[in-house]
């Protein structure tokens, strides 16, 4: 993969800080054969790159692949989807008026169970990888199912398609249907170890795919299982992913199932249950965190656990409106998750858009906050930070992906918008600009805002992971 050294030329846009995008125009980024960024040069056209940068790198000019962003196009870091269920992909958009617990039983468990059929698993997993790549998702934290062979297949397909991923076999040994449940805590642990072993055989250096320990969520896991998974995380130093505080009925169920007398925790909060089981680590990805109490958020912050914010899902299945600003203010690292198929969209860009909109609903009084909390609003810059740098930190890849800096790996997308001519026609092919129309007088920040609010996979022209081209539009 990435057999040639590459020279990328044009405009590069990436996050400098939570509320700041940096625009590098007329710039050059050099990516070596391993997929690592080895030079970032501003005010550098192709000629200057050939004359000064490539020689400094010791690269033969003739052997360098040149990729140039056209006028109006820009390179942007690949998106990181910090929470999605690969196995639920065929159900996106199908949830009726359900909420979490009935949604699981009605729509979700039957579909997940059906993926023990390897033909269906190959179809679904191939599709979800291609689909998310086409939307610029260069890294995904996947839940698979309880089934080991098909979870292994998901790993293999990520590797063959070149998508960076964390792959988790789902652990669940209670409170789920007979037809879809681990036989025991021990069986769950053994199956988890088997899926981890498969990943380490397939990608020994975890250069692309990493295992992630995946207790589904507290209600579906016995205390012994959670404790064993906590011990496994300590033993292996692997990351953990699970759900927390998504829905009020779920929270009540957790209180009911895991009293302090059983867990040994100081209180009966959801976060304390995980903490008591050793599952609240600095490598833990907590999806949702909609209804955390102050004390829980403080505990999550103290443990340096991360949050995957899933606004599409939280709105769709009526879970609530997560207070992202409040989490950020507590020093908690946040990223975005499509949470398919609680979330209806495969797109992190749509998720970022909804993060902006849901933050406005928080201001408007959702979640019991007083209206007028203006600073809860997330800006264009902030939601795009969450989609890239924030996500990278959530999945433990900060400093490796999420931005364009020397030493980071080239996980990126080339974005193109539609340019409107004087006659009101879009220039170029019919779908050249997707649904984004640029009239020419817009500033760069306005163009990025237009992309956030109307962009789709048509705007993502090419996608690279670790320097390798993994998707391009025809």
Residue ranges in contact with its own copies by CB under 8 A: 89-90, 92-97, 119, 122-127, 130-131, 315-316, 318-321, 344-347, 354, 357-358, 360-361, 363-368, 371, 374, 377, 379-380, 420-425, 430-431, 435-437, 439, 441-442, 446, 449-454, 456-458, 473-474
Handedness of CA 473, 206, 147, 177 (dihedral sign): negative
Of 190 and 364, CB closest to its own copies: 364
Cis peptide before 341 (omega within 30 of 0): yes
- Looking at the Cβ atoms of 102 and 298, the one nearer to its own copies is 102
Cα separation of 267 and 274, whole Å?
12
Nearer to its own copies, 2 or 343 (CB): 343
Smallest distance, its own copies to C-beta of residue 408, A: 29
Place of tokens 């340019």: 419
Q: For residues 122 and 330, which CB has a smaller minimum distance to its own copies in the complex?
A: 122
- Which secondary structure element, helix H or strand E, spans residue 418, and what is its range? strand 418-419
Q: Which position has the token pair 């169970």?
A: 113
Instruction: Give the C-alpha distances (Å, rounded to integers) separating 474 from 367, 432, 458, 466.
Output: 44, 11, 10, 21
Taking CA atoms, 91 is separated from 27, 106, 231, in Å, by 42, 11, 34
CB of 392 to its own copies, least distance (A): 25
Q: How far is the CB of 246 from its own copies (least distance, A)?
A: 12
Backbone angles phi, psi at 404, to 5 degrees: -110, 90
CB of 11 to its own copies, least distance (A): 19
Q: Give the position of tokens 């059906």.
A: 114
d(CA 186, CA 392): 32
CB of 23 to its own copies, least distance (A): 16
The number of CA neighbours under 13 Å toward the Cβ of 33 is 7
Q: Where are the beta strands (DSSP E) in 107-153?
A: 137-143
Output the six-digit token pair for 78: 């690949």
301 or 454: CB nearest its own copies: 454
CB-based contacts of 59-65 (< 8 A; 24+ apart in sequence)? 59/5, 59/30, 63/4, 63/5, 64/4, 64/5, 64/6, 64/7, 65/4, 65/5, 65/6, 65/7
| Least spacing, CB of residue 90 vs its own copies, in Å | 5
> Least Å distance between CB 93 and its own copies?
3
Nearest residue (CB) to its own copies, 240 versus 363: 363
Tokens of 175: 């409170």
In this structure, the dihedral spanned by the alpha carbons of residues 369, 255, 288 and 84, taken in order and rounded to 10 degrees, is -160
380 or 392: CB nearest its own copies: 380
Question: Whose Cβ is closer to its own copies: residue 299's or residue 328's?
Answer: 328
| Minimal distance, residue 442 CB to its own copies, in Å | 7
Comparing CB distances to its own copies, the nearer of 378 and 394 is 378
- Strands 214-215 vs 209-211: parallel, antiparallel or unpaired: unpaired
Q: Compute the least distance from the CB of residue 416 to its own copies, in Å.
A: 15
Shortest Cβ distance from residue 118 to its own copies (Å)?
A: 12
CB 401 within 8 A of CB 351: no
Residue 263 or 413 having the CB closest to its own copies: 413
């Amino acid at each position: 993969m990435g057999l040639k050294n590459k020279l990328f030329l044009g405009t590069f846009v990436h996050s400098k800080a939570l509320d700041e995008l940096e625009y590098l125009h007329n710039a050059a980024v050099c990516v070596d054969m391993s997929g690592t960024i080895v030079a970032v040069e501003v005010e550098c056209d192709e000629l200057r790159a050939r004359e000064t940068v490539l020689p400094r790198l010791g690269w033969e000019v003739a052997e360098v692949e040149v990729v140039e962003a056209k006028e109006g196009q820009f390179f942007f870091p690949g998106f990181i989807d910090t929470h999605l269920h690969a196995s639920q992909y065929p159900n996106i958009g199908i949830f009726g008026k359900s909420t979490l617990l009935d949604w699981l039983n009605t729509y979700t468990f039957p579909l997940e169970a059906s993926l023990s059929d390897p033909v269906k698993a190959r179809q679904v997993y191939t599709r979800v990888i291609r689909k998310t790549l086409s939307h610029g998702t260069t890294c995904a934290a996947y839940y698979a199912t309880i089934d080991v062979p098909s979870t292994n297949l998901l790993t293999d397909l990520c590797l063959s398609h070149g998508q960076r991923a964390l792959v988790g076999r789902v652990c669940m040994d209670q409170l789920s249907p007979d037809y879809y449940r681990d036989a025991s805590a021990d069986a769950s642990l053994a199956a988890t170890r088997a899926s981890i072993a498969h990943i380490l055989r397939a990608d020994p250096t975890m250069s692309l795919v990493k295992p992630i320990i995946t207790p589904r969520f507290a209600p579906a896991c016995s205390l012994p299982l959670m404790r064993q998974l906590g011990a496994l995380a300590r033993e292996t130093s692997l990351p953990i992913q699970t759900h927390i505080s998504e829905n009020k009925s779920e929270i009540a169920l957790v209180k009911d199932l895991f009293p302090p007398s059983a867990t040994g925790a100081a209180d009966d909060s959801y976060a304390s249950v995980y903490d008591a089981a050793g599952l609240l680590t600095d490598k833990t990805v907590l999806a949702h965190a909609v209804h955390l109490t102050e004390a829980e958020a403080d505990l999550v912050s103290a443990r340096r656990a991360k949050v995957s914010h899933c606004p599409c899902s939280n709105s769709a299945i009526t879970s609530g409106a997560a207070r992202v600003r409040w989490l950020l203010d507590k020093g908690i690292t946040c990223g975005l998750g499509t949470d398919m198929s609680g979330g209806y969209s495969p797109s992190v860009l749509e998720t970022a858009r909804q993060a902006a909109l849901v933050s406005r609903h928080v201001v408007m009084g959702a979640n019991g906050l007083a209206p007028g909390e203006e600073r809860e609003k997330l800006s264009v810059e902030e939601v795009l930070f969450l989609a890239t740098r924030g996500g990278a930190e959530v999945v433990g890849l900060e400093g490796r992906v999420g931005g364009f800096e020397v030493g980071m790996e080239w996980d990126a997308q080339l974005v193109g918008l539609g340019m409107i001519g004087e006659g009101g026609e879009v220039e170029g092919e019919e779908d050249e600009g997707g649904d984004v129309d640029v009239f020419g007088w817009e500033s760069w920040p306005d163009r990025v805002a237009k992309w956030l609010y109307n962009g789709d996979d048509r705007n993502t022209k090419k996608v690279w992971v670790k320097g390798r081209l993994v998707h391009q539009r025809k």
